[in-house]
Amino acid sequence: MTELHRMLIKIEYDGTPFVGWQSQENGDSIQHEIEIAAHKLTTRPTAVQGAGRTDAGVHAIGQAAHLDVPLKYTTRSVMMGLNSYLESKPISIVSATRVANDFNARFDAIERRYLYRMLTRAARPSLDKYRVWHLAKILDIKSMQEAAQHLEGKHDFTSFRATHCQAKSPIRTLQSLEVRAAGDEIHIIAIARSFLHNQIRNITGSLVEVGKGKWNPNRIKEILAAKDRREAGPTAPPDGLYLTDVIYPDSVVNPDLS
């Protein structure tokens, strides 16, 4: 039997042509493409476990996953080898790190960070088509910032999760929810240990209603208390959402492997 060791890989991808991260029967996924590349590299079936699922059209700058490879493969050969087989796909392995064999990319994560990009100008995007949510109307960012404060901390986020969300509990702790200006764009940065299905996109859709002047900032607090998805705003499109980073304890990603 071939002896294996575990690698943590950091992944960047354009989610536009994919059905999402997770392998599915109804189309091509990022996970499936990386598993094909890993099989070609190692000449053996190789499962790839991601830190979390991203939906169809959602992008990543810092998705994380683990896979097991034969001992002869170094971190560099894993990164470069996978990239060579992914060359025709909008997927890049940014780095590879050796971790303990009981490391789990999903369950060992202590923090996930997302960015949502909105372009607020009259002209539609050309270079960033499918990479931002285009809103021709200027939004009131101060009102959005005030509204976002109501969502920070530990809450029941039933009003902001997908109706088909499979999480056992709607309780989540938003460590930070920041709304900031970035030139012609407005960015929403969300940080938590874990998120509910469509939580960030539903929050974004609601904050945009505030930014348009349709709701006052305190309306977000009322929606949260209602625990009813019908009370919140529309789900923002996937185009502007990015998984930017997955954080692990230093002892997990830098173990003593001697």
As annotated, the active-site residues are: 55
Contact 110, 247 (CB under 8 A): yes
DSSP label at residue 229 = G
Tell me how far apart the alpha carbons of residues 9 and 66 are, in angstroms, rounded to a whole number: 6
Cα dist. 24→27, 29, 30, 31, 161 in Å? 6, 7, 10, 9, 22
CB distance 154 to 173 below 8 Å: yes
Three-class SS state of 242 = strand
Q: Kindly tell me the burial class for residue 94, based on how many C-beta atoms sit within 10 Å of its own C-beta (0-12, 13-18, 19 or more).
A: middle
Percent helix / strand / coil, the chain, rounded to 5: 25, 30, 40
d(CA 225, CA 213): 21
CA distance 215 to 218: 8
Q: How many Å is the Cα radius of gyration of the chain?
A: 20
- Residues 30/15, Cβ–Cβ less than 8 Å: yes
